[in-house]
């Protein structure tokens, strides 16, 4: 099936994370200007990939399984864990409309809570999660 | 005859079949005739679509050809015995495809499997640029299953059993 536009993935991820974490701000990638904020979320999209099967038909592909990494930053460790838990509870195993009314249907979201750490240079607790989307095409 | 003249990548191979729920399979002569026969299934140009066929969107083309069978004879007075090839069957092709419930080709395969007695001409085409080499054979389909493992797209698996002695090689002219 045809490849979808990753820009639409990005828009949907931004919308969905903002809807889950509100009023905590959500940004694509890290911006050091935001480090003065007590808590915020950034994300990065990667691994947009449909398996390609044999033959010359460009549409002979499987479903898309992009991954986006979620970075939760907070000055207070409790905040970092609570925000991460909100995302985990909302997204893990979710299927349905992703990204609001202008988004798209996903078959499943699979969240992998990777690890928490502390960034000494910006004095923020940091929790990293991966979320895999299964997008039928 | 424009036969590809280089080592081909495995993924250049594609699987085609006749359309129609009750097709008329090609004769043995037609199976090795490109113009008007095999070309009408795979298309006259590389990666085209023939008027009487369509591509099956499968994951990979399995090994095809002939199974092995032999008889071992002991020859009196000789140090070595002798292995003689005997009658053997064509290799069955077990094929996996991503399962799209609306895919016309996979619906044909599903129907064939439920029937079990429909002879259909299949073509494995490998291309190099604009050149095609085709292996055409008649076969029946069996063992159509759908695997819905949750970590990827649903897959359907089916087996094509080629009919004996009904095959042919051809290439675009």
Neighbour count for residue B106 (Cβ, 10 Å): 21
Q: Would you say residue B141 lies in a domain?
A: yes
Contacts of A60 in chain B (CB under 8 A): 55, 57-58, 98
Tokens of A88: 């985990």
- Using the Cβ of B98 and the Cβ atoms of chain A, whether some distance falls under 8 Å is answered with yes
Contacts of A53 in chain B (CB under 8 A): 57-60, 97-98
Task: Tell me what the mean pLDDT of segment B37-65 comes to.
Answer: 86
- Using the Cβ of B47 and the Cβ atoms of chain A, whether some distance falls under 8 Å is answered with yes
Instruction: Give ∠ CA A79-A85-A87 in degrees, rounded to 5.
Output: 105
Q: Would you say residue B84 lies in a domain?
A: no
The confidence score (pLDDT) of residue A69 equals: 96
- Using the Cβ of B57 and the Cβ atoms of chain A, whether some distance falls under 8 Å is answered with yes
Measured in Å, how far apart are chain B's first and last C-alpha atoms?
5
Q: Would you say residue B121 lies in a domain?
A: yes
Instruction: Using CA atoms of B54, B58, B64, B67 in order, give the dihedral in degrees to the nearest 10.
Output: -120
State the CATH number of the domain containing residue B29.
2.30.110
Contact between B100 and A1 using a beta-carbon 8 Å cutoff: yes
CB A124 within 8 A of CB A118: yes
Task: Tell me what the mean pLDDT of segment B101-108 comes to.
Answer: 92
pLDDT above 80 (res B10): yes
Contacts of B153 in chain A (CB under 8 A): 62-63, 136
Task: Tell me what the mean pLDDT of segment A63-77 comes to.
Answer: 94
Task: Give tens-digit pLDDT for A20-64.
Answer: 999 998 988 876 666 678 999 999 999 999 889 998 888 888 899
Question: pTM, whole model, 2 decimals?
Answer: 0.85
Task: Give tens-digit pLDDT for A79-121.
Answer: 999 999 999 999 999 999 999 888 999 999 999 999 999 988 8
Residue-range domains of chain A with CATH:
6-51+60-134 (3.30.2000.40)
Number of domains in chain B: 1
Query: Which residue range(s) make up the domain with B41?
Result: 10-67+89-171
- Using the Cβ of B63 and the Cβ atoms of chain A, whether some distance falls under 8 Å is answered with no
- Using the Cβ of A137 and the Cβ atoms of chain B, whether some distance falls under 8 Å is answered with no
What interface predicted TM-score (ipTM) does this complex get? 0.81
Tokens of A83: 């925000």
């Amino acid at each position: 099936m045809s490849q979808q536009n990753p820009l639409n993935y990005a828009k949907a991820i931004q919308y969905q994370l903002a809807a889950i974490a509100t009023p905590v701000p959500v940004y694509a990638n890290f911006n050091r200007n935001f480090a003065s904020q007590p808590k915020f979320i950034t994300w990065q999209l990667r691994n947009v990939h449909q398996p390609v099967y044999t033959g010359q038909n460009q549409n002979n592909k499987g479903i898309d399984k992009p991954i986006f990494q979620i970075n939760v930053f907070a000055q207070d460790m409790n905040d970092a864990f609570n925000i991460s838990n909100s995302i985990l509870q909302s997204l893990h195993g979710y299927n349905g409309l992703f990204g609001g009314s202008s988004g798209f249907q996903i078959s499943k979201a699979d969240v992998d809570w990777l690890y928490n750490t502390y960034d000494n240079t910006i004095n923020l607790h940091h929790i990293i999660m991966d979320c895999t989307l299964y997008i039928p095409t | 005859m424009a036969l590809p003249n280089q080592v081909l990548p495995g993924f250049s191979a594609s699987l085609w079949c006749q359309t129609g729920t009750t097709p008329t399979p090609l004769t043995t002569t037609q199976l090795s005739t490109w113009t008007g026969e095999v070309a009408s299934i795979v298309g006259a140009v590389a990666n085209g679509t023939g008027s009487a066929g369509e591509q099956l969107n499968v994951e990979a083309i399995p090994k095809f050809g002939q199974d092995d069978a032999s008889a071992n004879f002991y020859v009196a007075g000789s140090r070595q015995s002798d292995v003689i090839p005997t009658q053997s069957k064509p290799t069955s092709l077990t094929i996996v495809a991503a399962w799209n419930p609306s895919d016309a080709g996979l619906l044909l395969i599903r129907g064939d499997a439920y029937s079990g007695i429909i002879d259909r001409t299949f073509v494995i085409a490998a291309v190099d640029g604009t050149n095609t080499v085709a292996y055409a054979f008649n076969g029946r389909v069996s063992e159509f299953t759908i695997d819905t493992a949750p970590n990827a797209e649903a897959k359907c698996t089916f087996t094509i059993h080629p009919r004996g002695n009904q095959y042919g090689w051809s290439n675009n002219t």
